[in-house]
């Protein structure tokens, strides 16, 4: 009797589909997007990129402006020290050297602050773009009937009919007409290391 029940259960399990098969995963319908093209070609992205480049250029100009007088003064102080031939510098030369060092430190701190601000600005721009792209991906996938979207750089090859880059770009231009290129103070403070 046991043998008959075992044989019947084996036959029944072979005939009846299991619960795992009832919950099959749908076929993948893939769309690909070129994020580099989207983030470099969107109208607001181009404007923001130009603004960030201008900030970097301004920083470089400021760095040169600060460095010129410091180098001249530093060479002058070094020449005065060399002229002493190992003798102890007088109080005036020491004061001059200390004032130069203070100016050098202040200049370095100013440049560091500006670099941190520019880095925070760049991250703020990226965050604004990313915040708009998330919903756009979902909208484009629904409109095009895709259930997965991948970045084209992560694929080995794909057909042109899978590319939704222009759809994403058009939607981003509509959803993001402008990008703020100056990070709020809170974002800048997070970018700076905390001291004690």
- Specify the 3-state DSSP secondary structure of 150: strand
Structure tokens at 130: 């990313």
Indicate whether 193 pLDDT > 70: no
Residue spans per domain, the chain: 27-190
The stretch 166-189 carries a mean pLDDT of 87
pLDDT digits (tens, 9 = 90+) for 40-56: 999 999 999 999 999 99
For residue 93, name the pLDDT band (cuts at 50, 70, 90). confident
Bridge partners of residue 31, in order along the sequence: 149
DSSP H or E run through 186: helix 185-191
Give CA–CA dist 177/128, Å, rounded.
11
Indicate whether 35 pLDDT > 50: yes
Indicate whether 13 pLDDT > 60: no
Is the CB of residue 100 less than 8 Å from the CB of residue 70? yes
DSSP H or E run through 123: helix 91-144
Residue among 25, 42, 55 at smallest CA distance from 117: 55
């Amino acid at each position: 009797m046991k043998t008959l029940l075992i044989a019947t259960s084996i036959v029944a399990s072979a005939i009846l589909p299991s619960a795992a098969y009832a919950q099959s995963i749908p076929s993948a319908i893939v769309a690909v997007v070129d994020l580099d093209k989207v983030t470099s070609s969107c109208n607001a992205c181009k404007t923001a990129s130009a603004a960030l480049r201008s900030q970097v250029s301004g920083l470089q100009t400021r760095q040169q402006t600060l460095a010129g007088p410091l180098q001249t003064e530093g060479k002058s102080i070094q020449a005065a020290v060399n002229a002493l031939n190992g003798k102890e510098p007088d109080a005036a030369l020491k004061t001059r050297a200390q004032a130069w060092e203070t100016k050098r430190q202040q200049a370095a701190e100013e440049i560091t602050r500006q670099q941190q601000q520019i880095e925070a600005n760049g991250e703020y721009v990226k965050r604004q773009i990313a915040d708009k792209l998330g919903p756009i991906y979902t909208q484009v996938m629904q409109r095009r009937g895709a259930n997965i979207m991948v970045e084209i750089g992560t694929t080995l090859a794909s057909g042109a009919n899978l590319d939704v880059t222009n759809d994403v770009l058009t939607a981003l231009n509509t959803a993001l007409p402008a990008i703020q290129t100056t990070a709020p103070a809170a974002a800048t403070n997070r970018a700076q290391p905390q001291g004690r």
